[in-house]
Every structure is written in structure tokens, then in C-alpha cells.
Amino acid sequence: MAAITSCFLQAGGGLFAISVLVSTITEAPPRSFAMLEGAYSYDSSAFWETLPPITAALIVIALAANWKTSRRWLMVTAFALFILGGLLAGILLEPEFARITEGGYNDWVDPELKERARSWYALDWATWSLTLFAGIALLLALALPAIAEDRPKARPFG
């Protein structure tokens, strides 16, 4: 239950970030980067540095606790989706965001930068959907009865 809660908290934070913050940042770059600068600039790094590792740990604990049950494959699927989303964020999204915003705020709109930001915005939605589907897979796993899988044990010498 904790893994599901944490995963959906992360999906909720991502939904807020994309639908409110990212949509604003990508609206008219570099003019729209104003919210990223100054003494009171927006910075959600504490959330993103804290919650994903906690969520991953909780999914691993849930997976270990359910390894010998019929829930295992849904939990493996959830973990794989979660890890894939994290890898995409770390390998593609974060570096591209850094490149897009490296010039900082200027009081004009760059059409080329706006197009790059639009592509980044679309990829951000795709990555967010992986977290959402991971949470759904965990929820479906919880809905299944935890039936132990009886497998015949191999005998070492026949």
C-alpha cells in the first residue's frame, strides 16, 4: 500500500509540474524562463531528489514481500515501468531541460527554442505516463489475492 501511495504521490507531483510549471516554462522561451530566476525562483529539486528513491525502495520492498505470489509479475512490470521512466528522465529530460534553459531569461521569444521546448514537453508527458502506469500496475497487483505459487522444487541429484 505504501508503494502505491508513494507512486501516485509522485505521479501527482509530476502532473502538477507538467500541467502548470512545464506548460508555463515552454510557453514563450526564453521570456517564460522568468519563473526560474531571481531570489524566489521556482525550484522543485527537493521533491524530485527525495520521492523517487523512496518510491523505488518501497516498490522493491513490496516486490520482495510478494515475490512468491501471483502478484509478482504485475509488481515486476510496475518496477520496470518506474525504472524506465526514471532513466528517461535522467538521460533525456533533465539534460535537455538544462540545455533549453542554459541561456536564462531574455525578454524575447526564440521560435527554435520554443520548438525544442515543445518536444521536451511532449516527452515529459510520455515519461509521466510511465509513472502513472507503474502505479496502476501496483494497484492491480494489490487487487489480486496474494496466492502463493507452489512450484515443484528441483532435486539436486534426481
Using an 8 Å Cβ cutoff, are 84 and 36 in contact? no
Q: What is the pLDDT of residues 45-84, one digit of tens each?
A: 999 999 999 999 999 999 999 999 999 999 999 999 999 9
Q: Can you give the pTM of this predicted structure?
A: 0.87
CA dist 49 and 34 (Å) reads 23
33, 123, 142 from 25: Cα distances, Å: 6, 15, 37
Q: What is the pLDDT of residues 1-48, one digit of tens each?
A: 999 999 999 999 999 999 999 999 999 999 999 999 989 999 999 999
Asked whether residue 156 carries a pLDDT value surpassing 80, the answer given is: no
Write the single-letter amino acid at 76.
V
CA dist 34 and 129 (Å) reads 28
Least confident of 69-73, 81-85, 125-129, 142-146: 142-146
Asked whether residue 143 carries a pLDDT value surpassing 80, the answer given is: yes
104: left (phi > 0), else alpha (psi -120 to 50), else beta?
left
Q: What is the pLDDT of residues 100-122, one digit of tens each?
A: 999 999 999 999 999 999 999 99
Asked whether residue 148 carries a pLDDT value surpassing 90, the answer given is: no
- pLDDT interval class at 144 (50, 70, 90): confident
- What pLDDT, on a 0 to 100 scale, did the predictor assign at position 146? 82
Q: Cell numbers of 9, please? A: 504521490
